Amino acid sequence: GNLLLREGKFEEAKQYAQHYVNELKSGGYEAQELFEALNILAFSYIRRTLSKDAIPIVEEMLSLCDALPDVIRLTKTFRCNNILGLLHFELSRSNEGLTYLERAHEIALELGDKNILSTITGNLGLVHSSLSNDVKALELLRYSEDISIELKTYDHLAIVSDNIATIFNKHGDYTKALEYFSKALTLHTNSNAKDGIGRALGHI
């Protein structure tokens, strides 16, 4: 299933994952195994931007988290809340998205993992910007930027740079907007992320 997702064969991944989920539910299952099967199913929709179809699947994943082994329970709970936040945001339900992302942020702080802190602060910044809380958005995005530079997670830094540039652009600070869109373009080019390259060029 994951291989099919990586190859962009999303409908095939969906069919495989649904069969896998049905088989697990009919014959008894471990929570972790069902969680991973549902994850493949959810992303077969998410990768096709079918957010509405993915939400109930991710909600089911979240409901399984309490039954997962302690060593992964918090990380998987973070993952579900983060995904649900972004899915609601994509459906223009920014306030609902913010609720899930704030829960994910609390978990990230509890875990003390800089990688997921960078991810969630970047996502929170995006949602706050959509709600016109641009001062808060910029604060969160700059924090995410600093961690991305420290950890050398350049793919994430490219996305954060795009989002920072968008805020400057919205407020008419075109010099800063160009600076950050150009930074994003360089990072996307280095990783050959063609969709990111296209977005950055369009903005510039």
Instruction: Give tens-digit pLDDT for 39-78.
Output: 999 999 999 999 999 999 999 999 999 999 999 999 999 9
Q: What is the C-alpha separation between 119 and 10, in angstroms, rounded? A: 25
| Confidence at residue 23, expressed as pLDDT on a 0 to 100 scale | 94
Q: What are the structure tokens assigned to 50, written together?
A: 């079918």
Q: What are the structure tokens assigned to 145, written together?
A: 């930027």
Q: What is the C-alpha separation between 88 and 203, in angstroms, rounded? A: 25
Residue 149 has φ and ψ, to the nearest 5°, of -65, -45
Residue 28 scores a pLDDT above 90: no
| Confidence at residue 192, expressed as pLDDT on a 0 to 100 scale | 87
| Confidence at residue 137, expressed as pLDDT on a 0 to 100 scale | 95
Print burial letters for 87-109: b (CB count within 10 Å at least 16), e (below 16).
bbbbeebbebbbbbbebbbebbe
Residue 204 scores a pLDDT above 90: yes
Say what percent of the chain tops pLDDT 70. 100
Q: What are the structure tokens assigned to 54, written together?
A: 């993915």
Could you report the per-residue pLDDT of 88-125, keeping only the tens digit for each?
A: 999 999 999 999 999 999 999 999 999 999 999 999 99
The structure's pTM equals 0.86
| Confidence at residue 193, expressed as pLDDT on a 0 to 100 scale | 83
Residue 16 scores a pLDDT above 90: yes
Q: What is the C-alpha separation between 14 and 17, in angstroms, rounded? A: 5
